[in-house]
Structure 1
């Protein structure tokens, strides 16, 4: 299959992923989140969770589509590489990661009139995700830069492998963009006041804020690990499989460790929330 066939194939796949933004998968995701975070579901919390979950799904799909198109343009400008559509695949994964992060960190609607404001002045990043994940956000890009510099200095013709130089530049720019996005999301998570009526609704909001920080961390680790792989094995830029391995290395620990539970252990101290008449009021308002 010629490389340019991958553009319509992955574009169709992006359109198919829009199904995740429909009611059935969004509801299933919200229910799984409620069980995973051990938070009861109220009318207000449910509406907010559905809106945020759908926004993440839409951002992920749009980001993947943009990444596929940019990868195809880059591959075409480079003259094309038959049977090795790594820029398209890399653009798909990276665009999906950035899109979901932007969707999770999007602006919130106007709060209800009876909402109280809780300032996040005492919240740190350690309350939102594990400390080891935050350390990786800074250590992996630094290691990738050091490895790239060492390889450039000691290896003769370090970037002679086909596409390795271009891939390294793209991965470096994506890493810098990911670090900038992480800094913005972290600042917004730590400085933006929360607006909620009850502690239960506030806990739901903090959970999604923690998710946005974790997704922003992923947006840094994916391109940084790709840059590290290119520096160590320049031939990795000539095929899509090494990049796929890098994505699994980046995403695997994050998904397996379930770091989004951190806010329950630190910020809310595993507090058990019980439904009250104030929580149920929006649902009973029409009765």
Structure 2
């Protein structure tokens, strides 16, 4: 956070995506995903700083030149949104007799996501990015966001750190239509967040993502083959397929990265002999 004062008004201004508030995130994606139009830098500055446009518009050019860089992180490639700014989504009813419901999402950095859940979410995410079909986006959202588990509380003996109902791929088809009425801004915000988390994982575990996406000829049309990676891992450190799928995502990715490192080390040793 940075401190900014204009006149007698002082505000704390975020200096990264992770420091934004939920309302700021929604306002930012509304601007970034919309067709470009004059005044975008000033509008983004207004969102980030909290100072109204009329006030910013009256500032001298030399002052604005110093202020506009405060919002540059929004369009910087090395700045990622990984904190969970939308822990819940309010899903409106699809008809007058259906009540609105609250669904809960994963924690920041995908900390409580399991590997099996990630396989489905990432597949639908990449398919949506490639083909832009709404059905893929709805399924992606329905994988990550789920109803609250009854009795979920840190005080409970069975507390897992996750308030959501356990992921069940067989419930996905019935649950997906419930996401339909969700607003476009919330959809874009979740995509922005997941894209940041995914990029962070790819930085931490590069060999794993290369292995899941090793066929460059199919990369432009198909999602990474995480199911193949799961089958290769099954029977090893985490047990059978269903046991491996039920392990924390980062634990599995770390194991996979270690295996990849061992493979490359042995390969290099053979090449030098």
Q: What is the TM-score with the length of structure 2 in the denominator?
A: 0.22
Q: What is the TM-score with the length of structure 1 in the denominator?
A: 0.21
| Richer in strand (by share) | 2
| Richer in helix (by share) | 1
Q: Name the structure, 1 or 2, with higher relative contact order (CA <8 Å, separation 6+).
A: 1
